[in-house]
Structure 1
Amino acid sequence: MTGTDDPAERSSSPAGADKAALDTVGAPPSGGAEAAGPARPRWVSQVLRWGAIGLSLVLVGTLGYLWYDSRLPSSYSVMSMGYADYGGGFVPAGGHQHAGGVSVATLTGPASGTPAVSMSLTARAGTVTLASGEKVSGYTLNGSSPGPEIRATVGDLVQVDLVNESVPDGVALHWHGVRVPNAEDGVAGVTQDAVPIGGRHTYRFQVLDAGTYWYHSHQVSHEQVKGGLFGALVVLPPGSSSGPDVVAQVHTYDGRRTVQGATGERRIVAAAGVATRVRVVNTDNGPLRVSVAGAPYRVLAVDGHDLHSPGPVVDQGLSIAAGGRADLEVTPPAGGGGAVRVDLGAGSSLVLGPSGAAVPAAATPASLLDLLSYGTPGPVPLDTSRFDRDFSLTIDRWPGFVDGRPGLFWTMNGHLYPDVPMFMVREGDMVRMTIKNDSGEVHPMHLHGHTALVLSRDGVAASGSPWWTDSLDVDEGETYVIAFRADNPGIWMDHCHNLPHAADGMVAHLAYEGYTTPYVIGGNADNEPE
């Protein structure tokens, strides 16, 4: 027997393999375990081929329809977008109807009277010169950024004349956290038209609540606020004495973190043993983590509202939501030997103390102060035992199309912009809203024209000072329940204050029954609120 007669040897031999392969060409199947199956009929192959083509056409057609259906018209009203959510409350005859309603343009501040505070703000596009001398491209108000600080006292009539000298997209000013009449809210396409180059718009409103607030553009806001169109508004209580009081607006210009427009360490001369109020304003798009070294501190107020019996804080930081504010009380140590350092992240800080005082190193606390339990309970002017409206807002993220753009977009109650909720209320309603975040990122939710009371987080009831907020960070996996009274008629935005998120459609509205707006998004004014 030769080697080629051995089956094992034949299968391992290249020559044998070639011969075996040749021997099987054209040979019918033997029906054994290793034999090929019967040939597929031609009609089966054709059916499979045409089925695949048909499936592809259906898929392409569906995607094409979704693309086409998502495109926004050149102008549209917020009154016609989305769907009405009545929160289990009264539904008017005909449902989501606003035709013939009261125009928000009539909901202005006092038309007469001499303003106690009057200011003209001129918006320009160009170069921003930081306090450190660095120059970045952006926008200024009266030649600087931050813009001029506005200070008023509760009850004052404030008048601000906004002039657009050179901002090409137009401009509008929103008074963040301030309870103004709806026509003064400064949202392009909702409460006014954007002010074009060469145009002017006058805001008049009476300030009702003491606290720390700010103003910023609400036209192409994700670009204009980032570029520098903002400033602080401080409202003092009646008869307040002017103790040490410092505003610390934190803003990042082109990657440079600043405090009041200055990079690095900013020093403020402060007497030893004397408390200073530091009004921290987060003008950026993400949470701001604040820590204090050199002495304990207290959180006096959040979002313009004083806390009840706030105690000293040691070895804990504080997180401030985008758009949010916190008033800190810091006291340089008695004796004059040291200063207090308020660290604001990314190498920026505020140092308060006598000239030449030793500056402590930046603190790195491992934990954050929980405002849900900080302070002690106090009086609340809301009846939270009953509600006229009970809304739910679930934030998520899904693939889809927004204005013809494919991507992974934020959803509100499962809907992509512009099919977003319109939360419907009547004046006087008590409102409860449950906000749940399943999106994978933190979202600073900002409701215009109202201040909400935090009732609970993840099922745990608030147990400290009443926590009033207008800019609330809702982190991934968190659920907050908040309450407010519907006492400021109009059409109000309710959106994420991470402004690029809002520009990608994370926007809803709170609408009062019987009110409408004559303004449109887009249109001749090119209104683009986010």
Structure 2
Amino acid sequence: MRRSLKVAVASAATLAVLGPIGWFWQASRVPATYDMAEMGYADFGGGPASGHHHASGGTSVASLTSPSGVAPDVAVTLTARRDGSRYTLNGQTPGPVIHAVRGQLVQVTLVNANVPDGVTLHWHGVDVPNAEDGVAGVTQDAIGPGRSFVYRFVVPDAGTYWYHSHQVSDAQVRGGLFGALVVSGDAVASDVDQVLAVHTFDGRRTLNGVPGVSSLSAAPGRVVRARLINTDSGPLRAWVSGVSSFRVAAVDGRAVVGPSDISAKSVLVTAGGRVDLLFAAPGRVDVGAGAALASAGLAAGVQPPATLDLLTYGTPAPLGFDPAAATRNFDYRIGRRIGFLDGKPGLWWTINGHEFPDVPMFMVSTGDIVRMTISNSSGEVHPMHLHGHHAVVLSRNGAAATGSPWWFDSLDVGDGDTYVIAFVADNPGIWVDHCHNLKHAADGLIAHLAYTDVTTPYRVGGPSHNRLS
């Protein structure tokens, strides 16, 4: 009897421990195929819940395209290939630089020669129509081997952008499936225009795929525009030496208003972000780890200890809308805790206390003014990227922005930091809002902004094996 009691007590204790674990394990399972717009829970940010996208008769993302029947101004074909762990576009990595002028219609035909997991292209920082956004399982199906897909979009703003895969993106971008998109037509004047795509291959930091120091061909006194693109998953700091001063002309494709001269400071470039530097030759741009663009004879300079603060840089200017009149107010609180993700135990990211797939859908309607508070208590930095929109920083850790409007599409949110941002919901669709440390996104740090009347015919998983990140 005593032995039976011990067995019963032990069994009850085991069930008390394993029962909740089993429940959490089961609850964490992600369906083999699902509608991203049906996952998680709707957060209306204090705005009206009418017109929820579950209602019938909504607008499909597939219909949110650029006009058809119009000849493109720029037409490019990109062929994606995989060779081991390396990926190429038209036989090179980075892929070809695509050049366009603001307002032009760009057409890109993406051909998958042999990438077994499928491919897409996301136009990072370009506020394209939703159907052209390139997110597998949300705005299109992944393009399988031997197939192709045509992207068509008008480039609405001049600036520095880039394109990259959004299917198995951590592996494919890290392996080289990306390239630069440069849209001219802004007021920034320069004599030499240089794209500098920063990427780490096999542990070596490169500029445009080349390790070490690349040569800057610019005569003394000529003005150089260095378009820095951070294609890695972590932040980098760049600095200019050999000059008395330099300026930041643009951030994430948006011109800085009234940029002043900078000296003895480095500039942080968010993962996924872009910063355009302006200086007179001769000069040297270092991005760390021995990678640089330099005029002949200029040795490496010491990285300045101070970093430029974009919160106070430049001159204030009108935003074009009133953030105080926000119709939606959201919180995006990033944390981390022990738990399960798709049945796997580990230390996983949380959004507003929830693990993927039980994460918020930030619901908006066209014309809404949106304020979002992004806070990070996860122990790591997160470069947050909202597709389809540019937002402006209103404050950081309670300090209001006082410089040029800091427009961004990729924002470095450090551990312990809180940013308040704002934007106008003026691009209907279903847009992912995720960490651009792409491994973090794959591990659940991904939510989405959804317009209340928009639906998607695409599914994560399914016959096309779509991968959300």
Task: Place the TM-score, normalised by the shorter chain, in its bin.
Answer: over 0.9
1:65 and 2:36 equivalent? no
**Any conservation in 2 of the 1:179–1:208 contact (CA below 8 Å)?**
yes
**In structure 2, what is the equivalent of residue 130 of structure 1?**
none
Are the structure 2 counterparts of residues 447 and 239 from structure 1 closer, same or farther at C-alpha, using a change threshold of 3 Å?
closer
Superposition RMSD on alpha carbons, in Å? 1.6
1:136-147 counterparts in 2 under 5 A?
A: 137-147=85-95
Counterpart contact for 1:291–1:318, Cα < 8 Å: yes
Mapping of 1:138-217 within 5 angstroms? 138-217=86-165
Residue 51 of structure 1 is aligned with which of 3, 6, 9? 9
**Number of residue equivalences:** 468
Q: Deviations over 1:334-358 (max 9, x none)?
A: xxxxx3111111111111x3xxx42
**Matched residue, 1:105:** 62
Match of 1:114 among 67, 71, 90: 71
Q: Does 1:521 align with 2:460?
A: yes
Measured after TM superposition, the shift of residue 51 of structure 1 is 3.0
1:512 aligned to 2:451?
Answer: yes
Corresponding residue SS for 1:501: helix
Distance in 2 of aligned mates of 1:437 and 1:179: 26
> Residues 97 and 446 from structure 1, CA distance in 2 versus in 1: closer, same or farther, beyond 3 angstroms?
same
**CA–CA separation in structure 1 for the residues paired with 2:237 and 2:189:** 30
Question: Structure 1 residue 71: deviation in Å?
Answer: 1.5
Q: Which position in structure 1 is the counterpart of 2:328?
A: 389
SS where residue 385 of structure 1 aligns?
helix
Q: Deviations over 1:429-454 (max 9, x none)?
A: 00000000000000000000000010
- Tell me what 1:124 maps to: 81
One-letter code of the match for 1:68? Q
106-115 or 513-522: bigger deviation: 106-115
3-state SS in 2 of match to 1:367: coil
What are structure 1's unaligned runs of at least 5 residues? 1-41, 128-136, 333-338
Asked if the contact 1:99/1:516 (under 8 Å) is kept, the reply is: no
1:299 equivalent in alignment to 2:242:
no
- Tell me the equivalent position of 2:290: 347
Asked if 2 retains the 8 angstrom alpha-carbon contact of 1:341 and 1:359, the reply is yes
Q: CA deviation at 1:61?
A: 2.0
CA distance in 2, matches of 1:238, 1:258: 28
1:482 matched to 2:432? The reply is no
Q: Confirm or deny that 1:465 pairs with 2:426.
A: no
**Structure 2 unmatched runs, 5+:** none
TM-score (norm 1): 0.86
Residues 454, 398 of structure 1: CA spacing in aligned structure 2 closer, same or farther, 3 A cutoff? same
Superposed, 1:364-375 pairs within 5 Å as 364-375=303-314
Q: Distance in 1 between matches of 2:250 and 2:389?
A: 17
Letter in 2 for 1:57: L
Residue 55 of structure 1: CA displacement?
Answer: 1.8
Matched position secondary structure for 1:369: coil
Quick check: 1:319 aligned with 2:268?
yes
Residues 324 and 470 in structure 1, CA contact (< 8 A), matched pair in contact too: yes
SS for the counterpart of 1:109 is coil
Paired with 1:438 and 1:58, the residues of 2 have a C-alpha distance of: 31
Q: Secondary structure at the match of 1:309?
A: coil
Alignment correspondent of 1:17: none
Matched, 1:309 2:258: yes
Query: What is the letter of the counterpart of residue 111 of structure 1?
Result: S
Secondary structure, counterpart of 2:266 in structure 1:
strand
Q: 1:342-392, CA deviations, whole angstroms, 9 ceiling, x for partnerless residues?
A: 1111111111x3xxx421332221111000001111222121221100000
Residues 206-258 of structure 1: per-residue CA shift (max 9 Å, x gap): 11000000000000001100000000001111798773100000001121210
CA distance in 1, matches of 2:456, 2:230: 30
| Amino acid corresponding to residue 66 of structure 2 in structure 1 | G
Indicate the residue corresponding to 1:90 in structure 2: 48
TM-score by length of 2: 0.97
1:429–1:486 CA contact under 8 A, matched in 2 = yes
1:274-293 to 2 correspondence within 5 Å? 274-293=222-241
Q: Distance in 2 between matches of 1:111 and 1:529?
A: 27
Tell whether the 8 Å contact from 2:77 to 2:111 is kept in structure 1 after alignment: yes
What pairs up with 1:5-84 in 2 under 5 angstroms? 50-84=8-42
Match of 2:356 among 417, 433, 454: 417
How much identity, in percent, do the aligned residues show?
A: 57
Q: Which amino acid aligns with 1:325?
A: R
In the alignment, what sits opposite 1:376?
A: 315
Separation of aligned partners in 2, 1:265 and 1:199: 38
AA in 2 matched with 1:108: T
Equivalence for 2:202: 254
CA distance in 1, matches of 2:169, 2:256: 30
